[in-house]
Structure 1
Amino acid sequence: MPAIGFLGAGHLAGYLLRGFLRAGVPAGDMTVSRRGMGPELAARHGVNLAADNQRLADGCDVLFLAVRPAQAVAALEDVRLRSDQIVVSVCAGVPLGRLAAAAGPATVVRAMPVSAVAIGTGALPLYPDEPRARALLARLGPVLGLASETDFETATATAALYGWVHDLIAVTAGWLTERGLDPATARMLAARTFAAAAGMVEDEPETPVGDLVARLTTPGGITALGLGILADRGVPKSLAAALDAVDAKLRGKSPD
């Protein structure tokens, strides 16, 4: 098992730590930066706490770069890396070329995990599809190796969608609670409904999702009623516009 370091110790680093521990990676094989939430994460999970960032870099084989995107290049420039090391950047919107220039001889890849890596679910976009990085990330969930950085940026937009789905679950649970369900039941029902839909889509990979929707949409039925209202109020177009705006931000462009 490679020694894993986390340069940047915020919430995403915490989710990654939880995921690796859940997958059986020994706590002693992981080290976190002393800055930010590092001391808290080390105490909570029993992982190592680095004396400083250079010692963190010196002691790891794989370095997860988990700082804020604006700090990513400077954080890499602040440490000396070796040619046998891999840097896995989870900083949205920071191009591979800039990261590689700052990382010196180390190999750099980009990945975009979401908080669900803590429980072993959620796909992980990866570019480039480096075998050692893929093998490590596969402990956290399905890895989707992408052919280009353009494809990677497109896939990264789903990290924002992941947050929006949480909000949709909250709205649905709130609606159910307002109509008399107890909050725990409402929360479970809303969450399981979204999870069930995702499970069916995954279970029939050869079936177009539109066909799955059509099966559920009986003319004059409640699904058709709701879809019609959502379409009339521009929800599908609004979702596409939100994804377009995220995509533009990731590519350093101004949203239209």
Structure 2
Amino acid sequence: MSLPLKIGFIGTGAITDAMVRGLLSPHAAVPHVMVSLRSAETSARLAADFPAVLVSADNQAIVEGCDTVVLAIRPQIAEEVVRPLRFRDGQKVISLVAATGRPALLDWIGADVALVQAIPLPFVARRKGVTAIYPPDTGAAALFDVLGNAVECESKAEYDLLAAASALMATYFAIMHRTTQWLAQKGLPEEKGRAYLAPLFAELSQTALLAGPHGDFVEMSREYATRGGLNEQVLRDFERDGGMSALTEALERVYARISR
């Protein structure tokens, strides 16, 4: 499946920056990219770094000039930005608008477009991102496969569940931060704690990746929790003190927010 000849981004935040960088470096996967002037600093930086980037102050010009349009705007302002725009029937639209359902998006767009929802993560800048998309779409999948790996969801429920799981990123780093703080309180310099923890967590993630899609996380946990050992002790304390319950409850709440 060929990639779009010209892709346009309405909204120029961190994810737009990451996607554009992933698409255009180290070698360009698409010939032309248009980005909106909103967030002038980001758009100017992209234009300076990549000759293929054209900055437009007119969102309608992006819609008219691109065969694929990416809506990368905050949900709080999405309706006021999208409603005035005039899309073409059959045009590909990829929505990155969080916690916003297809019926609302299609109502705002007001045309018979090919709408795909996606959850790209910051790692797409390094072409290492895994991106959930819904519904399955070969063109969108080809685009996000360039940026790492696309996971095509067969139902809205699948998509919403992966969206909820993606909300764990900040918690992941917060666990590392709290551990670094604890080490520092016990006398270990913070830079040494970070230098130890980042590779440790990276290698654990690599172990899970190498196990493939059928890897058993429970079995991995058992392997690292030697009977009577330190890992087993921390895991049991974490479970006993409500860590697993708190995680499950947080996921349930974010899923309820996404799937409504």
- Tell me how many residue pairs correspond in the alignment: 252
Contact 2:9–2:72, Cα closer than 8 Å, also in 1: yes
- Paired-residue identity, %: 27
Tell me the SS of whatever aligns to 1:97: helix
Distance (whole Å) between structure 1 residues aligned to residue 85 and residue 103 of structure 2 = 17
The counterpart of 1:207, out of the listed 207, 211, 215, is 215
Taking a change above 3 Å as real, the CA distance of residues 23 and 164 of structure 1, as seen in their structure-2 partners, is farther
Q: Root-mean-square deviation (CA), in Å?
A: 2.0
Residue 249 (structure 2) pairs with residue 246 (structure 1): no
Q: Is the 8 A contact 2:184 2:193 kept in 1?
A: yes
SS in 2 for 1:64: strand
- Which residue of the partner structure matches residue 11 of structure 2? 8
Closer/same/farther in 2, CA of residues 26 and 213 from structure 1, 3 Å limit:
closer
> Which 4+ stretches in 1 moved above 4 angstroms?
none
Q: Deviations over 1:157-188 (max 9, x none)?
A: 12210121121122223333344444333223
C-alpha contact 2:38 2:57 (8 A) present in aligned 1: no
Give the Cα separation in 2 of the matches to 1:59 and 1:171.
Answer: 47
Q: Distance in 1 between matches of 2:57 and 2:129?
A: 33
2:35 is the alignment partner of 1:32: yes
2: CA distance, partners of 1:217 / 1:41: 47
Rounded to whole Å, the distance in 2 between the matches of 1:169 and 1:54 is 43
Q: Give the structure 2 partner of residue 48 of structure 1.
A: 54
Aligned to 2:77: 71
Q: CA deviation at 1:202?
A: 1.6
Alignment of structure 1 residues 89-128 onto 2, 5 Å: 89-103=95-109, 104-128=111-135
In structure 1, the gaps of 5 or more residues are none
Whether 2:93 is the aligned partner of 1:59: answer no
Structure 2 counterpart of 1:168: 175
Mind listing any 5+ residue stretches in structure 2 that lack a counterpart?
none
Indicate which of 219, 224, 229 corresponds to 1:216: 224
**Structure 1 residue 242, shift from structure 2 partner:** 0.7
What's the CA shift for 1:39?
3.8
- Does the CA-based 8 Å contact 2:16-2:72 persist in structure 1? yes
Corresponding residue SS for 1:4: strand
Structure 2 distance, partners of 1:238, 1:66, is 31
How far 1:14 moved relative to its partner?
1.5
User: SS of 2:222's equivalent?
Assistant: helix
Give 1:159's aligned residue: 166
Shift of the 244–93 alpha-carbon distance from structure 1 to 2, 3 Å rule, reads same
1:129, distance to aligned residue in structure 2 (A): 1.1
With normalisation by structure 2, the TM-score equals 0.89
Contact kept? 1:89, 1:109, Cα under 8 Å: yes
Q: Deviations over 1:44-67 (max 9, x none)?
A: 533210130011111112111111
Does the CA-based 8 Å contact 2:29-2:146 persist in structure 1?
no
Distance 1:195 1:122 in 2: 15
1:191 pairs with 2:198: yes
CA separation of 1:134/1:42 partners in 2, compared to 1, >3 Å: closer, same or farther? same
SS at structure 2 position matched to 1:88: strand
Contact 1:23-1:139 within 8 A present in 2 as well: no
Change (3 A) 1:39 1:121: closer
